Amino acid sequence: MLAQQYLDAIQRIAGDLGDDLPQLAALGDQIAGRILDGGVFYVYDNGHLLTSELFNRAGGLALMAPIHLTRPRFGSDAVRRGGEPAAGSADVVAAEEDLVLARMAVQHAGVRSGDVVLLGSVSGRSPLVVEMAREAARRGALTIALTALAYARTLPPAHPSGQRLDNAVDVVLDNHTTVGDAEVDVPGLAEKLLPSSGVSAALVAWCLVGEVVEHLLTRGIEPTVFRSINYPDGPERYRAAVARYRERGY
């Protein structure tokens, strides 16, 4: 069964992640200290699942702050007779403009010294996410990469500096996904099936959140945790949690 093969791959990743728990514990301690000193924990994911996974979730922390970045798009999706798309219907942001966008995103997010910036990229090649790491570092933030190291190390860098994401940050977290991301070979298909990077990135990120919370509690600090909004009093409790976070910063 293909489903079983995929589950086997996810279990392998979870086992590999178990070996990284000491690193996650130490990093959780470091992040907790920065939060208590007034730092903010920012997240930007250039991949897939983390874009929404960590924010406003039942059982998640109010202190997780997304960095928003949307590439401009020009033209239209019009198709003329014969099926050819109209000129200018694709993204037209040049590589150098991507670097400007990255710096602007970090700037407008308000990243400053003492903050934490977690950046997700499966391959770590994207010039945009590398530039975000460099800009966050210039501002004095602790920078963390969440990437697939085995995969990244097979690929040439695309950033003008010659760096991949794992070369541009203070701490590297491995999501342990397979080279190429897809996990299952299927007879009759030219390409492997079923990517793991979204699931594995979420596993790593939630384990890190757990370690941050544990170290905050050790310091006598109770961080704001969201409860499911689907309970009868869910909306009121959510608003109360947001107000508590804004007052305390955690």
pLDDT, residue 85, reads 59
pLDDT, residue 138, reads 97
CB 163 within 8 A of CB 191: no
Number of domains in the chain: 1
Residue 84 included in any domain: no
Residue 150 included in any domain: yes
Query: Is the model's pLDDT at 72 over the cut of 60?
Result: yes
Residue 82 included in any domain: no
- The pair of three-digit structure tokens given for residue 48, joined into one six-digit string: 């897939």
Average of pLDDT values for 204-231?
Answer: 97
The DSSP letter of residue 176 is -
- Domain, as residue range, for 104: 2-70+90-248
Q: What is the pLDDT of residues 123-132, one digit of tens each?
A: 999 999 999 9
Residue 78 included in any domain: no
Query: Is the model's pLDDT at 237 over the cut of 50?
Result: yes
In DSSP notation, 58-116 reads: TTSBTTEEEPP------S---B-TTSPBPTT-S----HHHHHHHHHHHHHHHT--TT-E
Residue 95 included in any domain: yes
Residue 134 included in any domain: yes
Residue 48 included in any domain: yes
Alpha-carbon radius of gyration of the chain: 20
Q: What is the pLDDT of residues 82-117, one digit of tens each?
A: 666 555 544 445 667 889 999 999 999 999 999 999
Residue 76 included in any domain: no
Confidence of residue 51 (pLDDT cuts 50, 70, 90): confident
CATH number for 243: 3.40.50.10490
Number of other CB atoms surrounding residue 203 within 10 Å? 17
Confidence of residue 49 (pLDDT cuts 50, 70, 90): confident
Average of pLDDT values for 163-180?
Answer: 96
Lowest mean pLDDT among 8-22, 31-45, 65-79, 170-184: 65-79
